[in-house]
Amino acid sequence: MFRWLGTGKGYITVLYNLGLMLVLGGTLGFLMEKITDLLGYEVHEIEHFDDRGKADKLQ
Amino acid sequence: MITFPILPGIEINLFLLVFIGFTVGIVGAFIGVGGGYMITPALMVLGFPANFAVGVGITHITAKSFIATVRHKQLGNVDAKLGVLMIAGTMAGVEIGVRLLNWVRDRGVADEAVLTASIIVMLIIGGYIVWESTKSKTKLDEMAQRRERLPRDMQLSSIPKRLQGIEIPPMIHFAKSRLTISLWAVLAVGFFTGALAGFMGVGGGFVRVPSLVYLIGMPSIIAVGTDLFEIIISGGYSIIRHTMSGNVIIYAAVLMVFGGSVGAQIGAIGTRYVRGVSVRYVLGYSVFLVSLGSMFKLAHILIGENISWIQKGAQVIIFGSMVILVVMIVALILMAAIYRRGGKIPVWAASLVWERE
């Protein structure tokens, strides 16, 4: 039914493709987050600098 | 085998599409690139016409980079402030790069010359990354021998200090990356990387990530997250352009995003397990493999069409490089996991992995 959207060039197709990729990205990203939570994997911030606590206080 | 009709008369294996999305998802999220340079030739090997290969690739990259950026943000790897400011310079640079490419072509310089120049640039960038990473690793190994505490990231370029020393207002402090630098330096680096990417006809992640590290002075893993953040915006713009040109087969892109969403998790979370030098190693080798692929492309142009050994060679390079990079990343993650549990890993690998949670 929506075959015409596949390789269309109009503004509706542009909005559809852009929106679909953003919605799909957001939904799958959210889903993956939940799956990692379910697996019990804790995701926390990486320590990029060894003196993190000290430097943050200085700022 | 489940095939998928993408265009009249062209059917593609569904699982291969998901697999390409998955592998490029791992590599892209780990080294901070979209991976168009791997996807486009891979899709062409599967049977996509060139324009559709580019359009589908960039469309899926945008969604995949969104997924990877969300994860990198949770990991504290995205310097959004620097990313946003750099985009202006990058966009202007891309425009100039594309115009320069067209200008050169209009003056009769053949595609071979442009491609040769691109290969030389890639070999220089890849060569420098591998050389610098090797030196950094040697230094880390020496520190380990002296039983000193090893830093998360270390790089040996002196350019960031010089650039940060140029105090042309407005000077901006980037808290995430812990650096203060002139806005003009950020825009100039964005412009330079954008121009190179535009001239070479690529997205430019493999130029931008080393530039963020070696020119701006950003930690490698933050450069990865920040570049993926930039790709969402530049990729969104590319979706608009390619859709208007009729180059996007959205169903194929959706299938690849499913594979990419899983791969992106592995790649992004993988950065928790390694030191910055490991990311640069993988990036350096990936740039080398890209230049090899381009050499086959050059050979194809120079020798002529339909030479079977060149086409076979290109296929081996494309799929081989994707597998090699994934194996490198997975091996690093596994070694880090073993090391954290008190297991033994090769001595040379100890300075590549991050031993703490």
Instruction: Walk along chain B (357 residues) in steps of 10 and give the mean pLDDT of each run.
Output: 75 87 93 84 79 85 92 90 90 84 77 80 90 92 85 84 85 87 90 83 82 91 93 84 83 92 92 92 87 79 70 76 91 92 85 81
pLDDT at B302: 77
pLDDT at A8 over 70: no
pLDDT at B187: 92
pLDDT at B110: 66
**Which pair of tokens denotes residue B244?**
């208007």
pLDDT at A54 over 70: no
pLDDT at B21: 92
pLDDT at B1: 65
Phi and psi at residue B318, to the nearest 5°: -65, -55
Contacts of A45 in chain B (CB under 8 A): 74-76
pTM, entire model: 0.88
pLDDT digits (tens, 9 = 90+) for B36-64: 878 877 887 778 887 888 888 888 998 99
Rama region for B246: left / alpha / beta (φ>0; ψ in -120 to 50; rest): left
Which of A41, A43, A46, A56 is the best residue to mutate to test the B interface, defined by the most B CB atoms within 10 Å of its own CB? A46
**Contact pairs from chain A to chain B, CB under 8 Å:** 115
pLDDT at A4 over 50: no
User: Nearest 5 degrees, angle CA B284-CA B17-CA B290?
Assistant: 20
Asked if B66's CB is within 8 angstroms of A21's CB, the reply is: yes
Distance from CA of B189 to the nearest CA of A (A): 23
Asked if A7's CB is within 8 angstroms of B63's CB, the reply is: no
Q: What is the ipTM of this complex?
A: 0.77
Asked if B257's CB is within 8 angstroms of A25's CB, the reply is: yes
pLDDT at B304: 67
What's the average model confidence in pLDDT over A16-43? 87
A35 vs B310, more confident: A35
Q: Is A12 on the interface with B (CB under 8 A)?
A: no
The three-class DSSP label of residue A42 is: coil
Peptide bond into B8 cis (omega under 30): no
Contacts of A54 in chain B (CB under 8 A): none
Contacts of A46 in chain B (CB under 8 A): 75-77, 152, 221, 271-272
Nearest-by-CA chain A residue for B268: A43
A6 vs B53, more confident: B53
pLDDT at A58 over 50: no
pLDDT at B39: 85
